[in-house]
Amino acid sequence: MLTDGIISVTPMSKLKMLREHPDFVRVAGYSATEVIKTFDLPQKAVDILTPYWIYVGEPMDNLPFTIYAYCMADYFAGSFVPRHRSHEMSMKMQRRVEENGAQFEFRQEVDKILVKNGRVRGVRTRRGDEIACDYVICGAYPNRAYTQMIEPKSEVPEGAVKFVNGNRLNVCPVSVMLVIEGAPEENGITNYNTFSGETMDTNEIWRNSRNITEPYNFITTVCLNYAVPDCVPEGYTHLSITNLVPVDPFLNVKEEEYYDLKRRLANEMMEEYIKVGGVDFRSRIAEIEVSTPMTISHYVGAWKGSIYGYSHSMDNHVIAKKAMMAEDHFIEGLEFAGAHGVAGDGQGTQITNGRAAAKGVFDAMAKKEAAAK
């Protein structure tokens, strides 16, 4: 059963919607394509409603309608960009948590989660400190925790390895982040967010995104000037061009090919956007950063660069994940919070996943206390 303790307070919380609108649950067994077909909309309208799919990383035929509907509802409701971006949100959360008595340790990496007889007994940091504890909420992917972090290895339950292997990773970003001389209009950019490509057939886009030998046929761009006008000095443009792709093709890239690939992808993505804006800004680039799944994996430790956790697909969606939550719990005292959690990916959803993990710890503590009485 769903309980209040793990339900996000946001109006669009997935779990809250599912609990309060039982009719909505009935569409959970249908894909976005199947439900949209029943609307009898003109193809042009369907095409306009389609592009946001890329942010959930599953073609419409394999994307549960419920997930698609949440995304679209958020999209139509409008969104906010914090003045100092996501870092501002993190800083605010840090302050709030510290006010409640917690302590942050920056520049520390947990290397090992120490387990004895199926129970957490502490962690060891990369620099060698051992911290004894009864509970760990792990932000690293279960893939990393179960394959590299649990010590001793003999404490990794067989079910945990099956769980990791049974989940398909969601998409990873390939991004080109640019600061360009000239105001956005001079660079052919007239709005905050653009989706563009030669087709809106998501199966076709999905096939194309698995192939890194051809130019991507679908990109999204964000021009931050339109949300935060002073994000760059006056007379400059802040533009990011992104494609969200499966990690698989990147796993076969040889080290000596990597930088050439990165440069080629960046150039192709810029060319694709130049077709939309009509202005070739490449001679005016003041700063450029290119990131691939490797970059994300290297800098934030996201497993194979997946920023969205595990895929939400017709055979593995939030209701199935929720139903399996107890069975997917393998080591006493070890909870997970992050994009790989039940509620899924994105910055807002991480609060729901964090609440669920905290509730898991509080429930276990209460049970232990009750047993001791």
Ligand X SMILES: Cc1cc2nc3c(=O)[nH]c(=O)nc-3n(C[C@H](O)[C@H](O)[C@H](O)COP(=O)(O)OP(=O)(O)OC[C@H]3O[C@@H](n4cnc5c(N)ncnc54)[C@H](O)[C@@H]3O)c2cc1C
Bridge-partner residues for 200, per DSSP? Answer: none
- Among 150-158, 199-207, 245-253, 341-349, which window interacts with ligand X (CB under 6 A)? 341-349
* Closest by Cα among 324, 370, 342, 362 to 135: 362
Q: How far apart are CA 309 and CA 340, in angstroms?
A: 4
Residue 259 · residue 234 · CB < 8 Å: no
DSSP 53: G
Among 2, 93, 183, 300, binds ligand X (CB under 6 A): 300
Only one residue has tokens 């640019």, namely 178
- Among 33-41, 224-232, 266-274, 297-305, which window interacts with ligand X (CB under 6 A)? 297-305
Give the 3-state secondary structure of residue 127. Answer: coil
Residue 102 · residue 358 · CB < 8 Å: no
Residue placing its CB nearer to ligand X in the complex, 59 or 309: 309
Sites for ligand X among residues 111-140 (CB under 6 A): 139-140
- Residue type at position 315: D
Number of residues that bind ligand X (CB under 6 A): 19
- Among 224-232, 265-273, 295-303, 359-367, which window interacts with ligand X (CB under 6 A)? 295-303
- Among 15-23, 200-208, 294-302, 314-322, which window interacts with ligand X (CB under 6 A)? 294-302
Give min distance, CB of 300 to ligand X, in A: 4
Strands lying side by side in the sheet with 236-245: 193-197, 218-223, 236-245, 172-181, 285-291
Verify binding: residue 301, ligand X, rule CB under 6 A. Answer: yes
Residue placing its CB nearer to ligand X in the complex, 182 or 348: 348
Encoded one letter per residue, x for contact with ligand X by CB under 6 A and - for no contact, window 184-223 reads: ----------------------------------------
> Cα–Cα distances in Å, from 20 out to 71, 126, 327?
18, 45, 25
Sites for ligand X among residues 231-290 (CB under 6 A): none
Binding site for ligand X (CB under 6 A): 109-110, 139-140, 173, 175, 296, 300-302, 307-308, 338-339, 345-348, 350
